[in-house]
Structure 1
Amino acid sequence: MNKKYGLLISCAAILFCVFLSPVSANSLGLIKGVAYSPHMPGEGCTEFGKANYTQDFEGMKQANVNTIRTYDQVPEEILENATKYGIGVIEGIWIVPEGDFSDESFKDECKTHIKEIIDRDKDKPCIKGWCIGNELDEGNVRYVGIEETEKFLEELYDYAKSLDSNSSHFVTHANWPPLDDLDLSFFDVISFNIFSYWPPKVANRGYYNYTRDLREKYPEKPLLVTEFGYSTSPVGPGNGGYGGNSEEEQAKLLKNCWEDIVNAGCTGGIVFEWNDEWWKNECYGVDKNTHNPDDPEEWFGMIAIEGTEDDYTVRKKRAYYMVQEIFGTEDFENVRDWNTDMGSQDGGEAYVRINQDSGWSGQALKGEHKTTTPGSWWCVFKTLNQNWSGWTRINFYYKEALGSGD
C-alpha cells in the first residue's frame, strides 16, 4: 500500500475511534424499516397465523427493508424469518396508554410484561432493540403529570436494561408530537411517530422543520422516526391528509417524508405500515371481518388486502415499489449538505475530506465538492451504513497531497 494513503487510513481510523466510540446512531446504521402487524382479515390485534411470513419477509428483503417494528410480542416464527432474511427487529412491549403511571401495581404489571418478552427473545440474533409503549394518552399524561410520567418511563427503561446486558440492544419509547414536552433523554434512542398532516404543530411547521427541531433538542442521542405514512382509504380528504389518498399519492408522499427524515439527520425511519389491517380500531369485535372504506386506519399498508374474510388476496401497492427505490438509495444521496460549501458548515455531522487523487473514488468516496480555493477539488465520503449525526464534524486534510492543511 502506498505509504501516504496508509497513513491517511490510519489517521482516519484513529479519529473515528476517538470521536465515534460511544453507542450512538453510528452503531445502528441507517434504519430502513416497516411496521409489521400481520393481522389478516378475520384476525384481531392479538391474533396471528393467517399471514404468509416467509412471503412477507421475501418481499421486505426485495424492498431493501432492514428492520421491522412490532407493537408487542410476536410469534417466534416471525423472529425466525427475520433472522433468516437478515432483517432486524425492534420488538414492541405494549403498555396500556391510559394506565395510571403513578400506581405501583400498574408498574408491576408493566414490568412483568417487559420481563416476559425480553427473557424470551433477548438472545435471538435478529433483535435490535425494545420499544416500551406507543403514543401514551395525552389526557392521561396531563392528569398524572409530566414529571410522574417521565419517572414511570425511566423506571421501566432501567428495568429493561437490567434484564438485557447486550450493549448492542437499545431501549426506546415511541413518543408522539402531542407529548413532545416530555423529557425522554434517558432512553438510548429518541423515537417519535411523526405524520405530516397532524397535529397542527407538525403541519404548520413542516415535516422537515419539525423533525429537525427534535433532532436539535436531543443532539446527543439518535432520533428514529418510528412511524410515518399515509392512508389510501376510499373516503378521506386526500391531498396528503388523513385518508383519501390515491396509491400514487401515497408513494410520492412517502418519498418526501423519507428525504426529510434523512436530511434532518435521523438515524432512520419506519414506514407505517407493511399491510392493511382490517381490525382497526376494534381489536376484539366484528370490525376485523370487513375493510371499511371510511376508516383511514385500515388502509395504511404498502400491501393491499382485498376480498372477503374467507377469500382475500394481497397486492403490492405503488408504495411498495417506491419504498424499494428509496431504501435502495445509498445513504449519502439526496442529502442537502452535499450541495453546500463544506468550509462554511456549522458542524453537527462528521465528515472526512480527502483529495480526489487518492484513487479511492471507486470504493469509499461519495460525491465531489469544489472548495472556495480555485482548482482545489475534494471528495467527501460517508461510510454507507453509518449515520454520523450528533457528532462534531471532523475536517481531515492530507497535508502532503495539498501542501497545506490542518
Structure 2
Amino acid sequence: MGKWFKYVLKLGLVFAIVAGALFYWLRPLLVKVESTTIADGIHVKFRVQGTNVEEYSNQAWKPYFAKGVNMGATVPGHFPGELAISEDDYERWFEMIQDMGSNVVRIYTIMMPEFYEALVKYNREHQKNPLFFIQGIWSPEEQLIEGQDAYDPQIKQKFEQEIKDAVAAVYGKTTLTPEPHSGKAGGAYKYNAGPYLMSWIVGTEWEPKMVKGTNDLHVDTADYEGKHFRNKPGASAFEKWLALMMDTAAQTEIQYGWQHPIAFANWVTTDPLEHPGEPLFEEDLVSVDPAHIEVADWAAGYFASYHVYPYYPDFFSFDSSFQTMANSKGQIDSYTTYLHKLKEAHPDIPVMITEYGVPASLGVAHLGMLGRNQGGHNEKQQGDIDADLFQEIHGAGYSGAILFTWQDEWFKKTWNTQRYDEADRRAYWYNTLTNESFFGVLGMFPSKDDDIHIDGDASDWKRLGDDKKRLDVQVPGFEEIWATHDEGYLYLMAKLSEPFDPSRQSIYLGADTIAGGNRHAPQLHGVTLDEGLETLIELSDENKGRMMIASNYDLHARLYERSGLPDIDPKENQDDSGIFKPWKLAVNYLLEYPDSRFNHPFGDVEVGELERGYTDPSRPDYSSKAMWQAQGQVLEMRIPWMLLGFSDPSSLSVINYNQTSRSKFEVTQVEGVRIVPWIVQDDKVLGREDSAAAEPYPVSRLPKYTWQRWEDKVDYVERPKQSYSIMKEAMQKIDGPVTDISGS
C-alpha cells in the first residue's frame, strides 16, 4: 500500500508539473478581452454607430478615438522583406507606445509571427488596459500599377488570398511560407491576436491611373451584392471591386467568431473632393469614394480611412479655396480647411486619418503651409508640428489620428534623392537627406550617436581609442585633425592654434574623393591646388556653416539643367571652373500648361546649410540638425555622407562626373576621402601669404581617410526623439472623440 501511494503521489506530481507548464505556455492563448456577442455567438469589441466608432467596455458601448502610431516592418540594416524585428523589440516598443498615450498600433501587412505573439503576451500583462492594433492588408500594388486593371484574374486571386492569409494570421490559425524578396512574412501563426484587433484596413494608396484604367475597362460591371458589403448605385467599377474585397475580409473573419470594423485605404489623391488649385491632372484625376460602399450585414460596421499630410499634393500650399479656415491657433490653415471639407463629404460614416506627420531630417521633399514641410525639421520642430496636426484632426471630429510613424526606417527612398543613391544599399546607411526615412518618433541613429556628441569637447574622442585616425595634415592654424565615421556621418575633430573667431577668420574644409573638381576658387584667395575638390565647407558665420559643391560636379544642376533650372553659365560645366555652388534639392518639378492645369515654376531648397549646435540629447539646447560646434581651440563636425557625394558609403561608392543619361549618374569605388583644411584671415590663407606666386599646394600628398566596407552589417542606436515626448503630452490630453463640432 505504501509503494502504491508513493507511485500515485509521484504520478500526481508529474501531472501537476505538466499541467503547470501547459498553463504557462497556453496563458497567452487563454487571455480574454471584454466584448459583447450578437447572433450565433459572434464577438464584437468595436463597432460603428452613426458617424462614431465605439468600444465595448465595462459592459457598455462608449465613444472611441483611435490615437496611435503606424509601425513599419523592419530595423536598420534590413529591408522590409527580411522582417527582422524581434519579439523583445516588440514588447519593449508596445510599452513605450502605450506610455506615449497611444491606444492602437496600425500595421500595413501581415507581420512575422513574433509581432502577434509579442502583442498577446504584452496584453496578457496589461489586461485592464490592452493595446489594440489595426491590421492592414497589402494589395498587389506593383501588379496593379503595371497591369492597370484590378479585375485581372491573377491580381484578384492574389489579393483575395492575401486577405484570407491576413485573417488567418491574426487569429493564429495558419502557417505561411515567407517570401523575403516580395516582403511577405511567414512562419507558424499560433497566437490568437484577434481579440486585440481594433479594425481592418484593406489595401494601399491607390494609383489614380490604375483606378481610371480599371473603371474604363469595366464600365458595365454588375453591382456587387455581397453577404456583408455591397456597393451603392452609381459606384465605379473599382469601388465595386473594393466592395468585393471588403466582403471577402468579412466572410473570412466571421468564420473565426468575430466581427471588426472594416475600411479600405485611401489618400488625398483619390478623395471625393475637387482640388481646383492642383496643377497636376493625376492628383485630381479620379476619386475612390467610401460613400459608394455600404454595409449589407456587418454589425461591426464600416468607416473611411485617409492618409493626409500638410504638404502633398501641392494644392495644400497655394490653392486659395483650401485657405478659408483658421486652425486652433487662429492661423489660416489649408490642412484644417481640408479636414473639415473631407469630413463634410462623409456625413454618414466615421472617418479616421490613418497617416499624418512630418519627418525630422536635413533633406526636404515638399513645402507646406505654416512651415509644415516634408523634412528640414529638427526633432522638436517635428514634434510641435505633429502635435498641432493631431489636435486639428481631433478637433475636426474625426474618429482617429494615427501618426506616421513609430520607428525610423533607413531603407526608404525619396523622389528627390533616389537617383543619387544605390537602391539595393539604402538599408545599410543613414542618409539624412532622404527625409522619408525619418518620420519616426523612435529614432534609429547611426552607431556613434552615443559615442560622439558634437559640442566642442574633445573628451569623447579620447574614449574612442583606436576607432579614430589622426590625419597627417601640416596646415597653419591647425595643430591636429582626427577623423572617424559611422553609418551616417564622417566626423572630424580639429585642435586649432587659437580659438575660432568668425568675425576675423573663416575656416574651410575641402573634400576630394575622385579626380577632377576645383583647384582654384575665390575661397582660396589665390592659392592653387594640385588636385581638385568636389565639395567645400565654409565656416564664417557665428551660427551656421555651409556645404558647397563644385559647379561641374553639382548633382542638382546636372539632373535638372533642362528641367526647370534657370540657364546655367557654360563655364560652370567646365572642370576647375573655380565656382562652388550651394548644395540643393528639388521640391517640385517645372509644370507647364497643357501638360498641367497651369504653369508652376520649378522649386528647390538649399540643404547644405550646416547648423551650429549641440547633439547631446541630454542638453536642453540639443538639436538633431546640429552639424558643428567650436569651443575654445576645439572644432567638431559631422558631415552627412551624401553631401560629400557618396551614393553608398558602406561600399565606398561615390557619384562621379559622368552620366549615362540625363537622369542616371555613374558611380566609382574610391579609397576614401581626402580632407583639405585652410584658414583665411585678413583676406589671406594662413601660411600662404605669398600665395599668388607660390607653387600649387600639394593636395595629392595629403592622406585620405579610409575605412573598411561594412557591407550589410550595421549598428545603430535606438532612442526616442524629442518628438516622442511632445506627442506624449499631446496624446495624453485627449481621451475620446469630439462629438459636436457645430461651433467650429
Matched, 1:160 2:274: no
- For residue 113 of structure 1, report the CA deviation from its aligned partner: 0.7
* Other-structure match for 2:374: 242
- One-letter amino acid matched to 1:30: F
Distance 1:280 1:330, change over 3 A: closer
| Partner residue of 2:289 out of 176, 183, 190 | 183
- One-letter amino acid matched to 1:182: V
* Other-structure match for 2:679: none
Q: Which of 286-295 and 255-264 deviates more?
A: 286-295
* Other-structure match for 2:137: 93
Matched, 1:271 2:403: yes
Deviations 1:55-106 (A, max 9, x none): 1111111101111111100123222333424211111111023512121221
Q: Number of residues paired by the alignment?
A: 320
Matched, 1:321 2:725: yes
Give the conservation status (yes or no) of the 8 Å contact 2:359–2:375: yes
Q: How many Å separate the matches in 2 of 1:262 and 1:168?
A: 26
Distance 1:50 1:113, change over 3 A: closer
* Other-structure match for 1:213: 341
Q: How many Å separate the matches in 2 of 1:43 and 1:24?
A: 39
Report matched runs for 1:118-129 at 5 Å. 118-122=167-171, 123-124=192-193, 125-129=195-199
Q: How many Å separate the matches in 2 of 1:270 and 1:178?
A: 19
- Spell out structure 1 runs of 4+ moving beyond 3 A: 20-24, 201-204, 281-284, 385-390
Give the conservation status (yes or no) of the 8 Å contact 2:53–2:64: yes
Bigger fraction of residues in strand:
2
- One-letter amino acid matched to 1:129: S
- For residue 286 of structure 1, report the CA deviation from its aligned partner: 1.8
- One-letter amino acid matched to 1:247: E
* Other-structure match for 2:265: 174
SS, match of residue 80 in structure 2: coil
* Other-structure match for 2:437: 298
Q: Which of 85-94 and 273-282 deviates more?
A: 273-282
SS, match of residue 54 in structure 2: helix
SS, match of residue 175 in structure 1: coil
Q: How many Å separate the matches in 2 of 1:102 and 1:264?
A: 36
Matched, 1:39 2:74: yes
Give the conservation status (yes or no) of the 8 Å contact 1:101–1:148: no
TM-score normalised according to structure 2 size: 0.41
> Which structure 1 residue ranges, 5 or more long, are not aligned?
1-19, 332-384, 394-406
- For residue 386 of structure 1, report the CA deviation from its aligned partner: 5.4
Report matched runs for 1:45-194 at 5 Å. 45-51=80-86, 52-83=89-120, 84-85=122-123, 86-98=130-142, 99=144, 100-122=149-171, 123-124=192-193, 125-145=195-215, 147-165=236-254, 168-180=259-271, 181-185=287-291, 186=293, 188-194=302-308
Matched, 1:225 2:353: yes
Query: Rg: which structure is higher?
Result: 2
- For residue 168 of structure 1, report the CA deviation from its aligned partner: 4.7
Matched, 1:330 2:462: no
Q: How many Å separate the matches in 2 of 1:241 and 1:207?
A: 12
Give the conservation status (yes or no) of the 8 Å contact 2:51–2:348: no
Q: How many Å separate the matches in 2 of 1:386 and 1:300?
A: 25
Give the conservation status (yes or no) of the 8 Å contact 1:36–1:274: yes
Deviations 1:261-302 (A, max 9, x none): 011110011100001101113998221111222211111110
Q: How many Å separate the matches in 2 of 1:21 and 1:220?
A: 10
Give the conservation status (yes or no) of the 8 Å contact 1:32–1:66: yes
SS, match of residue 26 in structure 1: strand
Q: How many Å separate the matches in 2 of 1:389 and 1:202?
A: 26
Q: How many Å separate the matches in 1 of 2:409 and 2:237?
A: 34
- One-letter amino acid matched to 1:153: L
Report matched runs for 1:323-362 at 5 Å. 323-331=727-735
Distance 1:50 1:249, change over 3 A: same
Q: How many Å separate the matches in 1 of 2:135 and 2:379?
A: 29
Q: How many Å separate the matches in 2 of 1:224 and 1:202?
A: 19
- One-letter amino acid matched to 2:351: L
Deviations 1:165-212 (A, max 9, x none): 266511112201110022223261100000011113334421111111
- For residue 33 of structure 1, report the CA deviation from its aligned partner: 0.9
> Which structure 2 residue ranges, 5 or more long, are not aligned?
1-47, 56-62, 124-129, 172-191, 217-235, 272-286, 295-301, 323-333, 447-486, 488-712
Q: How many Å separate the matches in 2 of 1:93 and 1:275?
A: 20
* Other-structure match for 1:334: none
Q: How many Å separate the matches in 2 of 1:387 and 1:162?
A: 32
Q: How many Å separate the matches in 2 of 1:42 and 1:310?
A: 6
Q: Which of 300-309 and 316-325 deviates more?
A: 300-309
- One-letter amino acid matched to 1:136: W
SS, match of residue 195 in structure 1: coil
Bigger fraction of residues in helix:
1
Q: How many Å separate the matches in 2 of 1:164 and 1:152?
A: 19
Q: Which has the higher contact order (CA 8 A, sep 6+)?
A: 1
SS, match of residue 248 in structure 1: helix
SS, match of residue 314 in structure 1: strand
Question: What value does the CA root-mean-square deviation take over the aligned residues?
Answer: 2.5
Deviations 1:213-235 (A, max 9, x none): 11111111110001001011212
TM-score normalised according to structure 1 size: 0.73
